[in-house]
Amino acid sequence: MMAALALDRGAVRGRLVADAPLAPLVWFKAGGRADWLFEPADLADLQGFLRQLSDDVPVMALGLGSNLIIRDGGVPGVVVRLGKAFAGVSVEGDMLVCGGGASGISVASSARDTGLAGLEFLRGIPGTVGGFVRMNGGAYGREVADILVDCEVVTRDGSCRTLSLAELGYSYRHSALLVGAIVVSARFRGVPGKPEDIAAEMARIAAAREASQPLRSRTGGSTFKNPPGHKAWALVDEAGCRGLTRGGAQVSEKHTNFLINTGEASAADIEALGEEVRARVKAHSGIELEWEIARVGRAP
């Protein structure tokens, strides 16, 4: 049953849509609908909306929809998607101030243009600031914890607060951010560098991704976390899962830590394939893979 919203609609300036399809907004292009999809006009609009919202209505933030399976039964409550109003990037000395809706490519490119090195790896993260700050996203030997100064979040009650790096409690692909807290901005620190050198490193990362990952497929990025001392893709490959299928879902032939939607996969197909891979890896190596991709929503 879709959650009813008791709101003063006249006080909401952003876009609020009931029974909104989410499959077009996620990389897998599969999954159900949101009870409500809200795209706030600005920070004040987001805060005002959350303050009006009943405490029993769940809230989930959605970025670019990578690293995410939306289950076929859809997402209860409200999905908040930060749009252009939250996509800005500006410079403060050796720091970039980035909106929660800014993409990794946008942040890395702004750092290049400003002559700030150390942020090139963000070119390899297919998500937004809000997403990779929450999960301590990383690639090519670096992670958000290496560059983050602090971030600004809006909590479920509409309050806004700034959290330091220490307060985020980062570990591998994990933070201590509360469920329902939405990252609306973050500050990242770089070091002085030559734009041409930064551009060359970004080009190297882009070429490496293109060569090794199924970027032109409907995928969700890295499926499983790397266990200590192991590479997830190698464990999956050694367990004989390369090319394994379930319905319309497949383990990528190009990179075995990627699942792909071959065309008509349901979210259930994709998640079930991931669980089958986990079972085969456990049986083969004794290692239990942990999902890196978030799986949210109701079963159909």
pLDDT (tens digit per residue) in 160-169? 999 999 999 9
- 227 and 204 in a common domain: no
Q: Which residue has the higher pLDDT, 51 or 180?
A: 51
Q: Is 258 domain-assigned?
A: yes
Q: Is 14 domain-assigned?
A: yes
CA-to-CA distance for 91 and 89, rounded, in angstroms? 7
- 247 and 198 in a common domain: no
Identify the active-site residue in 222, 252, 271, 280: 222
Mean pLDDT throughout 135-162? 95
Position 182, amino acid: I
Specify the pLDDT at position 200. 97
User: What pLDDT digit, counting tens, does each position of 7-37 carry?
Assistant: 877 789 999 999 999 999 999 999 999 999 9
* 187 belongs to the catalytic site: no
Q: Indicate which CATH number applies to the domain containing 271.
A: 3.90.78.10
- 264 and 174 in a common domain: no
Q: What percent of the chain has pLDDT over 70?
A: 99
Q: For Cα atoms 38, 47, 127, give the angle at the middle one, nearest 5 degrees.
A: 55
Specify the pLDDT at position 10. 77
- 156 and 56 in a common domain: no
Q: How would residue 282 be classed by pLDDT, with cut points 50, 70 and 90?
A: very high
CA-to-CA distance for 207 and 225, rounded, in angstroms? 23
- 117 and 38 in a common domain: no
Q: Which of 37-46, 146-155, 160-169, 215-224 has the lowest mean pLDDT?
A: 215-224
Tell me the average pLDDT of the chain: 95
Q: Is 2 domain-assigned?
A: no
Mean pLDDT throughout 223-237? 97
Q: What percent of the chain has pLDDT over 90?
A: 88
Q: How would residue 300 be classed by pLDDT, with cut points 50, 70 and 90?
A: confident
183 - beta bridge partners? 153
- 193 and 256 in a common domain: no
Q: Which residue has the higher pLDDT, 11 or 257?
A: 257
180 - beta bridge partners? none
In terms of residues, how long is the chain? 300
Domain count, the chain: 3
* 164 belongs to the catalytic site: no
Q: How would residue 145 be classed by pLDDT, with cut points 50, 70 and 90?
A: very high
- 90 and 78 in a common domain: no
Q: Could you say which of 84, 113, 128 is where a domain stops?
A: 84
Statement: residue 104 has pLDDT above 70: yes
Boundaries of domain holding 105? 86-212
- 53 and 154 in a common domain: no
Q: Is 100 domain-assigned?
A: yes
Statement: residue 97 has pLDDT above 70: yes
Mean pLDDT throughout 34-63? 95
* 210 belongs to the catalytic site: no
Statement: residue 216 has pLDDT above 90: no
Q: Could you say which of 37, 62, 84 is where a domain stops?
A: 84
Q: Is 4 domain-assigned?
A: no
Q: Indicate which CATH number applies to the domain containing 162.
A: 3.30.465.10
- 199 and 245 in a common domain: no
- 208 and 93 in a common domain: yes
Q: Is 191 domain-assigned?
A: yes
Q: How would residue 1 be classed by pLDDT, with cut points 50, 70 and 90?
A: low
> Which of 209, 151, 207, 147 has the alpha carbon at shortest distance from 181?
151
Q: Is 249 domain-assigned?
A: yes
Q: Indicate which CATH number applies to the domain containing 34.
A: 3.30.43.10
Mean pLDDT throughout 240-265? 97
- 100 and 198 in a common domain: yes
Q: Could you say which of 167, 187, 212 is where a domain stops?
A: 212
Q: Is 3 domain-assigned?
A: no
- 223 and 200 in a common domain: no
CA-to-CA distance for 235 and 126, rounded, in angstroms? 23
Identify the active-site residue in 33, 71, 134, 173: 173
Statement: residue 128 has pLDDT above 90: yes
